Amino acid sequence: MKELILFGPALPLAQIKKFQTERLIIVQKIINLKKVCQECDLVICHAGHATVARALLGGVPVVMLPTQAE
- Average pLDDT value over all residues in the chain: 93
C-alpha–C-alpha distance, residues 16 and 9, integer Å:
10
Give the phi and the psi of residue 22 in degrees, each rounded to 5: -70, -20
pTM score > 0.85 for this model? Answer: no
pLDDT at 26: 96
DSSP state of 9: T
- Looking at the chain, the whole-number percentage of residues with pLDDT higher than 90 is 90
What's the confidence (pLDDT) of residue 43?
Answer: 96
**How much is the pLDDT for 1?**
62
Taking the CB of residue 15, how many other CB atoms lie within 10 A of it?
11
What is the per-residue pLDDT across 18-43, written as a single tens digit (0 to 9) for each? 999 999 999 999 999 999 999 999 99
